[in-house]
Amino acid sequence: MIKVGVVGATGYAGEEVIKILIKHKLVKITELSAVIDKEEPISSIFPAFKGKIDIVCKKPNPEAMARGVDLVFLGLPHKVSMELVPIFMKAGKLIIDLSADYRLAPEVYKVWYGAEHKDKANLPAAVYGLPELYSDAIKKAKLIANPGCYPTSVILGIAPMLKGKVIFTDTIIADSKSGVTGAGRKPDLALAFSEVNENLKAYKVNEHQHKPEITKILSEVAGKAVDVVFTPHLIPMNRGILSTIYLKLNKKLDTKAVVDIYKNFYKGKPFVRIADEGKLPQIRDVVFTNYCDIGLKVTGDTLIVVSCIDNLTKGAAGQAVQNMNIMCGFDETEGLI
């Protein structure tokens, strides 16, 4: 039984981490913090937690929190995480950071997030927490850079083909559709119900900050520079990301052959499910779960991949717990199925 803290407990990702950990058999939540007006039980802030967990959510004090935990989840805005990580690292605690602060090289970070990186010392220690690709490194990691939601859905949808070197690497298109929780819990007119409902839009076309994260990891997988045209869309639903990915095959393959490539690639990975030929995944099959469901269809020399996740689970909190399970030697699926 390890002691766990959640920083940023009142955001969507933080709330979701708590919800998952409440049912986790090998973990005890001992510390919660958030930027709040007054310290009160988390069950007063989220009445849904009444009867399930009643510890107090405190104002941020990382040094104090570090004394009460073995591992900490950071559900913080970008740029804030890198101020806290050094404190927990120094205290020798395991860290799972759900922000983007430890996912990119500092010069790329500066371009896309508009800020100098403040903790270059710990950056090299950070492991990208996508367990289907990096489980060996995760096992030994002290600091996890938990992947973004869009990158999780896109990378898992493309990796098998890149690894197999059966697609061209310069004509990859990822058309992603996300529910609204992906934007976080905050007062923002653009996220108001009456602005989002009965509406649909593309945004930050090929300029979204998740693009460099996608290309960085895909390039590592391919062993060479990979570019992606990435278009995110905002969908009037709470949770879920569906990425429709268009790949050009560099050799003749039919749908069945491609399905086999994916099934082999993800063999033994408990959270990736490949649909049989002729079937396609949908959001309702993955929502509130840690699964990534992938469907495949070849037409001519084009492979269409449909990749579905819950943005708050496999795209954030669930994947964070999956990483914790691997780091701590627990069953990878504990608390998640």
Which residues carry out catalysis? 149
Kindly indicate which of the ranges 108-116, 129-137, 140-148, 179-187 contains the residues binding its own copies, using the contact rule CB under 8 A. Answer: 179-187
Q: 274 - beta bridge partners?
A: 294
Smallest gap from Cβ 291 to its own copies, in A, equals 7
Q: Which of residues 249-308 bind its own copies (CB under 8 A)?
A: 270, 273, 275, 279-289, 291, 293, 295, 297, 299-300, 302, 304, 306, 308
Q: Does 196 bind its own copies (CB under 8 A)?
A: yes
Q: Is 254 exposed, middle or buried (0-12, 13-18, 19+ CB in 10 A)?
A: exposed
Number of residues that bind its own copies (CB under 8 A): 73
The smaller minimum CB distance to its own copies, of residues 11 and 62, is found at: 11
Chain positions 120 to 139 lying near its own copies, rule: CB under 8 A, are: none
Asked whether 213 and 104 are in contact (CB, 8 A), the reply is: yes
Contact segment (CB under 8 A) with its own copies among 41-49, 54-62, 111-119, 133-141 equals 41-49
> How far is it, in rounded angstroms, from Cα 16 to Cα 10?
9
Say whether 196 sits in a helix, a strand or coil: helix
Rule CB under 8 A: say whether 167 interacts with its own copies.
Answer: no
148 counts as binding its own copies under rule CB under 8 A: no
Pairing outcome for strands 302-309 and 292-299: antiparallel
All residues at 6 or more sequence positions from 141 whose CB lies less than 8 Å from its CB, including other chains: 125, 126, 127, 129, 323, 327
* Only segment of 66-74, 102-110, 189-197, 256-264 that touches its own copies (CB under 8 A): 189-197
Q: Half-sphere exposure of 87 toward its Cβ, with a 13 Å CA cutoff?
A: 17
Distance CA 167, CA 19 (A): 40
Q: Residue from 38, 92, 107, 189 that binds its own copies (CB under 8 A)?
A: 189
Residue among 252 and 299 whose Cβ is closer to its own copies: 299
Question: Which residues, at least 6 apart from 14, have a Cβ–Cβ distance to it below 8 Å?
Answer: 6, 7, 8, 34, 73, 75, 317
> Is 220 an interacting residue with respect to its own copies (CB under 8 A)?
no
By CB under 8 A, tell whether 168 contacts its own copies. no
Q: Does residue 52 belong to the site contacting its own copies (CB under 8 A)?
A: yes
> Quick one: which of 58, 64, 5, 50 has its CA closest to 29?
5
Residue 296 or 327 with smaller CB distance to its own copies: 296
Q: Is 111 an interacting residue with respect to its own copies (CB under 8 A)? A: no
Stretch binding its own copies (CB under 8 A), from 50-58, 67-75, 87-95, 214-222: 50-58
- Based on the shown chain and the rule CB under 8 A, indicate whether residue 112 belongs to the binding site for its own copies: no
Site residues (CB under 8 A) for its own copies, limited to 5-34: 12
Strand stretches in 27-66, DSSP E: 27-33, 40-41, 56-58
